[in-house]
Amino acid sequence: MTTLYGWGPMFGCPSASPYVMKSEIQLQMLGIDFDRAIADLESVSKHKAPYVHDEGKVIEDSNFIRAYFEEKLGKRLTAGLSEREEAASWSFERMAEGHLAALIMMERWLKEANFNKGPRLFFEDAPPHMRDEICKTVRQELEQTQIGAGFGRHSHEERLQLANWDIEAIALQLGARDFLFGDWPTAADASVASMLISAATPYFDTPLAQMVRRHDNLEAYMERMTETFLAEDKWPEMEMAL
């Protein structure tokens, strides 16, 4: 029995987390029959999702989930790629999960209006008299983390520019192909498409959405990946006030 833990559709996306989407896609690419369940972050050591339960083992983090199942099954999600393409594939994953992921988080969590219509929902179970203080503390910690990493030291315009350079590079790599490295999806597509889908949701007020959607090939790419891997909602309902 294999179970992926995360969250289902929210904020106009197939999941609130691009990393959950990434693992959901990669498990399907590997041909694994798996269930989906709502994450309990207090039950795992890293306090993050996605994580997987498989035959009594707990595997945390989307990268290690992929590596675990590739080794277990003797399959590779970069099969058919040259060594240079494999190197480029890993580079595109790391790029998408760098500036672009950081900006998605900051646009959702640190902009007051976006936070109130989005991430604040995660705190509905907190005691009412403590809820505002908990939200304030979590947001301050997230901001300090980004400042410590350097990304949060940039102006909003500079952060957008960094993300846009990534988006432009992804659009150039994709070109007229169906997927990043050819006619079939490989490892990088799961990561890159998930980040683009998260960035492009119209649910939040952010220039990110238009930065992605102004590229016709990225629009078609997101639709293609969604229809192939994420069109059917198989997640249980979350027990929270939505």
Query: Tell me: the pLDDT tens digits for 34-77?
Result: 999 999 999 999 999 999 999 999 999 999 999 999 999 999 99
Which pLDDT belongs to residue 192?
98
Spell out a b/e string for 19-31, using b for 16 or more CB atoms within 10 Å of the CB, else e: bbbbbbbbbbbbe
Locate all alpha helices (DSSP H) within 52-206, ordered by sequence. 62-73, 83-95, 101-109, 112-117, 128-149, 156-174, 187-200
Q: Where are the domains of the chain?
A: 2-230
Confidence class for position 239, pLDDT limits 50, 70, 90: low
- Lookup: tokens for 162: 């960094």
In the three-class reduction of DSSP (H, G, I as helix; E, B as strand; rest coil), residue 6 is classed as: strand
Q: Whole-model pTM?
A: 0.94
Which has more confidence, 192 or 239? 192
pLDDT band at 22 (very low <50, low <70, confident <90, very high): very high
φ, ψ at 103 (rounded to 5°): -70, -40
Confidence of residue 146 (pLDDT cuts 50, 70, 90): very high
User: Is there a contact between 197 and 222 (Cβ–Cβ < 8 Å)?
Assistant: yes
Out of 1.20.1280.50, 3.40.710.10, 1.10.3720.10, 1.20.1050.130, select the CATH number for domain 2-230.
Answer: 1.20.1050.130
